[in-house]
Structure 1
């Protein structure tokens, strides 16, 4: 059994390849049982959480022969870890043979998650963002943001990137780290409204409890990519945004019930589940159309799925 570290994963992955691997995965038949959620009582502090996210398949990874795999991501959430300078969320991915069940590899779960989450947004953008999109606004400056910037740049001819964050210093730091790389001119901004109005693609990765992006700010033809706000009580876009845009999700089961950007306006009767034009399965299989015309505003909401983890893990294993 191999142990594959985050640095190895970062050396293996490219977004162009991973996007195509995910496209193949969403076209295939993959089993994704409901994730297991366990609370671990800790008398000396906040309760911890253990998450188990399994998946198995038979799809042929791009450029490789048909093989079956089983995978499970194991995630622990210990809220009190911040008191001892450790991450609150940690994860490991185990990949097994679908033919014998034997363990094949153990991988860094955080690295797998960062790469697959950003690649899923880029996959959606390949159907939903205008082909001439060259200006990106990144809302949020956390660990996922640089991955999202690179991912979107792999599917659209981006040249200009603005980064907005509630803490301007964090946006400045990330902009300095990326500016000039990957053919991108990257700057920080404190003008969120102006950044949204001038962007072709707006990507959000925050844990905001209040809407950040307003529909009135979205220019004709903008693609809005909502990656954060993964709980029903969190939200990155307002009601005007979801009523103005043609709506898409990664999976209906996850996005419509778990994500506040969808769940809140559905609960309020502002939109219905039927207003979602397509999910990634339907887009990748050609069953539903993505962007219909140049000036259309599109919105993609993701909450993540074990399909993406499994596809990314197989991709890494076959290239390692």
Structure 2
């Protein structure tokens, strides 16, 4: 674990007390975060900070024909979230031939008050936590209270985190299997997404909308569910579908939780 920051509270420092940036190791990140805690943090924070966060569309830069660099920034000047953050992601699919992951990421957190660097950490692991916990939060709102079976859609490094997040949200779950999502599932269910980007980035939704399986106006949003502006599950027989594509909003909220937890434990 890296040394603690000098005057680490970004909302309570002066020009004479500079902040010493910290590097939060992957091991420290795991010790600070839990799926249950992050789900609760999203549930509490998303309705109050979403409107005050500025989150441009992610930038994608081509490094070569097969590799790219992605930038996902977000910033807030709200006293309750005085942070600016950016996730930097490299995508090198050819790494499979040399037994390396194709995606690597770092997350850097700054003070929105002075712009000083506060911390950097493993963006890949942070992404696994935030993506799975957004899904777990949706499950907490949309799934039946007596749900016992979890069907995994997709695989890879995210799968274990998704299972843990859903177990944290729905302790009644007793069994998981795996299946790909199709038009029939989209058609039969009421569809909700984590943010508007899902309507242009999620292939199963884009295709379903283009084929007339669903109408874009019928898709609901997670923040509206949390606020109670939209009704989630209306009865035990109803099918609900949630699709998450991720955003810098949940990145910065996850990074906030990690940084503040690190400062308290240092």
- Is the structural similarity TM-score above 0.5? yes
Deviation at 1:140, TM superposition (A): 4.1
Deviation of 1:107 after TM superposition, in Å, equals: 0.5
Q: Indicate conservation of the 8 Å contact 1:105/1:317, yes or no.
A: yes
Matches within 5 A, 1:37-52: 37-41=60-64, 46-52=65-71
Distance 1:268 1:117 in 2: 27
Which position in structure 1 is the counterpart of 2:191? Answer: 247
Residues in 2 aligned to 1:54 and 1:293: alpha-carbon distance in whole angstroms: 39
For residues 308 and 40 of structure 1, the distance between their equivalents in structure 2, rounded to whole angstroms, comes to 26
Match in the other structure for 2:228 = 286
Summarize the Cα distance change of 1:67–1:249 in structure 2 as closer, same or farther, 3 Å threshold.
closer
Task: Provide the residue aligned with 2:203 in structure 1.
Answer: 260
Is the contact between residue 48 and residue 78 of structure 1 (CA under 8 Å) also seen in structure 2?
yes
Cα distance in 2 for partners of 1:163, 1:283 equals 27
User: Where do 5+ consecutive residues of structure 1 fail to align?
Assistant: 61-65, 165-191, 193-211, 213-236
**Which residue number corresponds to residue 149 of structure 1?**
163
Find out whether 1:301 has 2:243 as its counterpart: yes
Indicate the residue corresponding to 1:31 in structure 2.
54
Change in 2 beyond 3 A, CA 1:304/1:4: same
Residue 34 of structure 2 corresponds to which residue in structure 1? Answer: 14
* Count of equivalent residues: 239
Partners of 1:90 and 1:109 within 8 A in 2? yes
Task: Using structure 2 for the length normalisation, give the TM-score.
Answer: 0.85
Cα deviation digits, residues 122-181 of structure 1 (max 9, x gap): 1111110011212222244421111111101111123412333xxxxxxxxxxxxxxxxx
SS at 2:224's partner residue? helix
Deviation at 1:83, TM superposition (A): 2.3
- Give the secondary-structure state (helix, strand or coil) at the position aligned to 1:248: strand
- Counterpart contact for 1:31–1:56, Cα < 8 Å: yes
Preserved contact between residue 247 and residue 299 of structure 1 (Cα < 8 Å): yes
Aligned residue in 1 for 2:139: 125
Q: Assess if the C-alpha contact under 8 Å between 1:40 and 1:50 holds in 2.
A: yes
Q: CA RMSD in A?
A: 1.6
1:57-81 Cα shifts (integer Å, max 9, x gaps): 2567xxxxx3410000000111222
SS of equivalent to 2:187? helix
Judging changes above 3 Å, is the alpha-carbon distance between structure 1 residues 77 and 245 closer, same or farther for their aligned structure 2 residues? same
Greater shift after overlay, 129-138 or 95-104? 129-138
- Cα offset for 1:116? 0.2
* Mapped partners of 1:17, 1:162: distance in 2: 22
Larger relative contact order (CA 8 Å, sep ≥ 6): 2
Could you tell me the TM-score, scaled by structure 1's length? Answer: 0.71
